[in-house]
């Protein structure tokens, strides 16, 4: 090899070492950035040249900066992130709903129903006693207040879900547009050797979209990514489709994807945080309906039986509870009749308008409502209340169990991703020392060649 050839080889070595230092420095500084993937410098030897029968190498050149990625693992992580966000959001919102049924610091629904029948039972000892009558009215008022509070809490939770669901789409659509822009900039340069910073940013956005709305993705080897929602492409190349929201006839938030001149409803396929909100809303609506049916059925039964009796003055009984004409919304507005609140003597305990003092015939009939199994289809009044509370508890427990399982799965996948593409600062420090040593060696080669060339030039001069 000539001195000029050695000089060129040394310059290539200097360039490779310099590039290695750049890559290592980027790894160290990017280690704490979300979505950052470790880079490695790929080098290759140049073909040797023949000089006087000898094959002499020309050194190495830096051929690419490679992202340490596993595309299949990335796709699995996107799916898992959506499932985790969905289960976590569902559990979080259901826990809020469950708190309205918490009887730790106040009277619970089941306890309030028991207190109504306890008060009625106590009144049988002396149906004409004013204090016992006030106890019955008070117990009914407590039950109405608790039922209304729970229904109002559930309704507030539904409203909060609707507000949260509608507000998140601005972020979702901004991410979809940016992913399409990044796809265009990345082109088909390759998923491993393309512009690493752009690829990292795009993949992180897709991961965040998975958590937000439950998208899936196809990460292609050429560097392009296709983003799907329920099998429908939201991003393909540089094109993207907007996700919009609207309200149906019940006021529930629904989601649509723009398609040509129209739109496609994707509410049932939405996952991630939005999917968790949709599921939570469905559960809440069901519990509100159950509570309405219980309140309407129970209050109607008590009103009907009460109307069959007579009060202390021999007048026919009126309503104990005020109710709407149907079960819808009954729980939220359940209240004790204002006249009865003012005058407990209006309680129609007697069985006849000429009843003797102590007549509690109708009072006994009202007590029988507690064990009437015909009112709620299956079981008595207490069973109907327990069905509501146990359904809430079981649903919350299942959501929390799923939340824990999904979090564990995401944790495992993130550990795998970290082992594949994470940055080990100790390892990078070792690489930095190696590249520094290579840089110094290449610099010495250049210095020696320079000195020899100067000597030759001096001899020639």
Residue pair 212/273 in contact by the 8 Å Cβ criterion: yes
Position 105 scores a pLDDT of 62
Which residue ranges in the chain fall short of pLDDT 50? none
Instruction: Domain ranges for the chain, please list them.
Output: 3-68+422-460, 73-81+167-272, 105-164+281-408
pLDDT at res. 6 = 80
Are the CB atoms for 91 and 277 separated by under 8 Å? no
Structure tokens at 227: 């983003």
Nearest by Cα to 366 from 345, 383, 381, 344:
381
pLDDT in tens, 384-421: 999 999 999 999 999 999 999 999 999 999 999 999 99
Name the H helices within 100-129. 109-123
Which residues 6+ apart lie within 8 Å of 10 measured at CB?
Answer: 59, 442, 443, 445, 446, 449
User: So what's the pLDDT on residue 272?
Assistant: 95
**What is residue 261's predicted lDDT score, i.e. its pLDDT?**
75
Percent of the chain with pLDDT over 90: 69
Tens digit of each residue's pLDDT (9 = 90 or more) over 314-373? 899 999 999 999 999 999 999 999 999 999 999 999 988 766 767 899 999 999 999 988
pLDDT for 101: 85
| Phi/psi-derived region of residue 260, left when phi > 0, alpha when psi is between -120 and 50, beta in every other case | left
pLDDT of 355: 61
Are the C-beta atoms of residues 241 and 215 closer than 8 Å to each other? no
Cα 437 from Cα 430, distance rounded (Å): 11
Average pLDDT, the chain: 91
- Structural contact between residues 46 and 1, judged by C-beta atoms closer than 8 angstroms: no
**CA–CA separation, 16 vs 37, rounded Å?**
21
């Amino acid at each position: 090899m000539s001195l000029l050839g050695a000089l060129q080889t040394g310059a290539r070595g200097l360039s490779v070492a310099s590039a290695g230092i750049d890559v290592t420095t980027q790894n160290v500084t990017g280690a704490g950035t979300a979505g950052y993937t470790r880079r490695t410098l790929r080098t290759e030897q140049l073909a040797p040249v023949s000089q006087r029968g000898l094959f002499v190498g020309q050194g190495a050149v830096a051929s690419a900066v490679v992202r340490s990625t596993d595309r299949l693992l990335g796709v699995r992580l996107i799916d898992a992130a959506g499932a985790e966000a969905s289960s976590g959001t569902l559990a979080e919102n259901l826990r809020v709903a469950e708190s309205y049924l918490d009887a730790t610091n106040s009277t619970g629904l089941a306890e309030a129903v028991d207190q109504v029948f306890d008060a009625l039972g106590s009144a049988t000892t002396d149906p004409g006693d004013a204090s016992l009558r006030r106890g019955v009215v008070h117990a009914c008022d407590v039950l109405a207040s608790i039922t209304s509070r729970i229904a109002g809490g559930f309704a507030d939770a539904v409203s909060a879900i609707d507000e949260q669901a509608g507000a998140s789409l601005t972020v979702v659509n901004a991410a979809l547009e940016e992913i399409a822009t990044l796809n265009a900039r990345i082109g088909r340069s390759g998923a491993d050797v393309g512009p690493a910073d752009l690829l990292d940013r795009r993949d992180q956005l897709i991961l965040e979209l998975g958590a937000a709305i439950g998208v899936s993705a196809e990460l292609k080897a050429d560097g392009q990514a296709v983003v799907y929602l329920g099998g429908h492409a939201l991003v393909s190349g540089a094109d993207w489709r907007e996700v919009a929201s609207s309200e149906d006839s019940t006021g529930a938030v629904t989601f649509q994807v723009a398609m040509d001149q129209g739109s496609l409803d994707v509410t049932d396929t939405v996952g991630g945080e939005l999917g968790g909100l949709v599921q939570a809303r469905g559960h809440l609506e069901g519990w509100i309906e159950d509570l309405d049916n219980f309140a309407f059925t129970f209050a109607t039964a008590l009103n009907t039986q009460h109307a069959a009796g007579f009060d202390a003055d021999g007048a026919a009984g009126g309503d104990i509870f005020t109710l709407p004409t149907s079960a819808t919304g009954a729980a939220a507005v359940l209240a004790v009749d204002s006249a009865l609140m003012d005058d407990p003597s209006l309680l129609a305990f007697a069985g006849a308008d000429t009843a003797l003092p102590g007549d509690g015939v109708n009072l006994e009939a009202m007590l029988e409502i507690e064990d009437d199994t015909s009112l709620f289809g299956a079981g008595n009044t207490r069973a109907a209340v327990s069905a509501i509370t146990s359904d809430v508890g079981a649903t919350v427990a299942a959501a929390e169990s799923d939340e824990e399982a999904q979090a564990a799965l995401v944790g495992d996948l993130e550990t795998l991703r970290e082992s594949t593409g994470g940055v080990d600062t100790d390892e990078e420090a070792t690489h930095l020392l190696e590249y520094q040593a290579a840089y110094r060696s290449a610099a010495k080669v250049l210095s020696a060649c320079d000195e020899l060339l100067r000597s030759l030039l001096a001899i020639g001069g």
